[in-house]
Structure 1
Amino acid sequence: MHAIQTQGISFPSLGLGTFRMEGDDCRVAVESALDLGYRHIDTAAMYNNEEAVGAAIAASAIARKDLHVTTKVWHANLAPDAILRSFDTSLDKLKLDYVDLFMVHWPSKEMDLPAIFETLAALKEQGRIRAMGVCNFTIDLLRTVIEDIGAPLACNQIEYHVLLDQTPVRAYLASKGIPIVAYCPLAQGKLADNAALAAIAGKHGATPAQVALKWLLDQEGVAAIPKAQRPQSQKANLDALKLTLDDEDRRAIAALQKDMRFVNPPFAPAWDKSPA
């Protein structure tokens, strides 16, 4: 599997998302994924599943250095002291000595960006996080963090799939050598009935979801973290890596409607608009 290299860390381009999985269901799912070969696990304080993720990791025989673990701090906890409390709680629940990537989960109107990244830099200096990142940041926010503050961002995690164009933010991040981690990469299960994807899938003996996932993973500097609870779904996502899409497939995908955003809570920022 291709690995994404950024800010001194490396992680597989295909990871396991764990949003909306809790308790034993989450633990069993992560154990299954690790058994199948996943080495990139994404969680967050808000998911209420860090203990389950940590239990699955503890039960595995995988060396810590061979595993990439991401967690996140919620937007209500972005004051420096609150970040540190959230991080300590996450680390304790995960039963780890460090996390590979610690991220700001959502921006907040009240946040003090210099103070946030000074706090994350201190955690990195202490060896408690290996890299820092953000989720759901717009180009204007990214400019402030990268160009004004000079924070060494490892990635921006955003909703990205075949039905949502993210060209502006992708282009900006690519100009800075910063990758994207795509969440909701299968458009919350809305791809099965898409005729264009079904036609491509039929041509390759695959599923529309596999086509959509491979389209993302074929892009330079893009990783994806589909949620998959059942072993069959986890394996199907891994099998997407075996697909080879051609130019005709990519043209058909490029022609799809690309304005469908599924994650847009009331506290979301004003999203970047696609170029006219």
Structure 2
Amino acid sequence: MKMPQIGLGTFRLKGQDAYNSVKTGLEVGYRHIDTAQIYDNEEEVGKALADSGLPRAEVFITTKIWIENLGKEKLIPSLKESLSKLQTSYVDLVLIHWPSKEFSLKETLDELMKAKTLGLTKEIGISNFPIKETQEAIDLIGANNIYTNQIEIHPFLQNKKLVNFLNEKGIRVTAYMPLAYGKVMTDESLKAIATQHKVSPADISMSWLLDQNFTVIPSSTKKVNLENNLKTKKNFLSKDDVVRIQTLDRNDRLANPGFSPIWD
């Protein structure tokens, strides 16, 4: 199954909120759900998927292996535990959540390739990998085996150097935090562009990302926001709009834990 360009992110959603968001998202038309082991919501995501009644093959599911589980002894067992929580025999995509300083990348990628061979996942990929680490992964398994690199991108962190590298290598870009935790809603430039097109600033950010052929995974617990994000129109921003958005880049990185790699 091809990954739908708009997915439903579940970062920071817990318990009933996670369940309700995914259940409602599936009801309004989402067919791409993104979760992770560290989000501690795979069980709720799995229950929502099961309760939706949708055929498994109709929903693209992504999860991510947490850094503590990237070694040979833990990766596949942890993935099987994720599958149990998600109530499925496979996921469509498994990502390395963050580069690891404890386990060798070769060891991790070997296990991911093994998981793919075993049918536990259809595709494998990476997340939060800068150019150096991405190139190391390419050297080990080839760009054709890296389905995507999921990275933070929004108008205030445009990650142009890494994006250009990924485009050159033919690796899909998945943009997380596309609305910058709601910061796009208060930016005066985005509000002005939105007023001109009679849409919301969220529509502007989403459309700008989609027009670059990125996959986007916004999250929300509100039905109206879920619907609006899914209905985002493409190819209506003018060249002047795009130039104006490009000027907003200020390296405003929101996901930057202490174990982060050296960013480009």
Which bracket does the TM-score occupy, shorter chain normalised? over 0.9
Residue aligning to 2:112? 120
Residue aligning to 1:262? 254
How many Å separate the matches in 2 of 1:243 and 1:28? 31
CA shift, 1:126, in A, is 1.2
CA shift, 1:147, in A, is 2.2
Contact 1:173 1:179 in 2 (8 A): yes
Contact 2:211 2:235 in 1 (8 A): no
SS at match of 1:13: coil
Range moving further from structure 2, 90-99 or 24-33: 24-33
Residue aligning to 1:138? 130
Residue aligning to 2:80? 88
Residue aligning to 1:20? 12
Q: How does 1:124-273 map to 2 (within 5 A)?
A: 124-150=116-142, 152-220=145-213, 222-241=214-233, 244-272=236-264
CA shift, 1:243, in A, is 6.8
- Residue 77 (1) aligns with residue 69 (2): yes
How many Å separate the matches in 2 of 1:34 and 1:165? 29
How many Å separate the matches in 2 of 1:130 and 1:227? 24
Tell me which amino acid in the other structure corresponds to 1:124.
Answer: K
How many Å separate the matches in 1 of 2:198 and 2:179? 18
Q: Which TM-score applies when normalising by structure 2?
A: 0.96
CA shift, 1:184, in A, is 0.7
Tell me which amino acid in the other structure corresponds to 2:52.
Answer: S
Q: Pick from 103, 112, 115 the counterpart of residue 95 of structure 2.
A: 103
Q: How many residue pairs are counted as aligned between the two chains?
A: 263
- Residue 33 (1) aligns with residue 25 (2): yes
Range moving further from structure 2, 166-175 or 129-138: 166-175
Change in 2 beyond 3 A, CA 1:106/1:248: same
Tell me which amino acid in the other structure corresponds to 1:143.
Answer: Q
Q: Pick from 4, 11, 25 the counterpart of residue 3 of structure 2.
A: 11
How many Å separate the matches in 2 of 1:218 and 1:124? 31
Change in 2 beyond 3 A, CA 1:249/1:50: same
Contact 1:204 1:243 in 2 (8 A): no
How many Å separate the matches in 2 of 1:96 and 1:157? 23
How many Å separate the matches in 2 of 1:149 and 1:89? 25
Q: Which TM-score applies when normalising by structure 1?
A: 0.92
Q: What value does the CA root-mean-square deviation take over the aligned residues?
A: 1.3
CA shift, 1:32, in A, is 0.4
Q: What is the percent sequence identity of the aligned residues? A: 41
CA shift, 1:242, in A, is 5.8
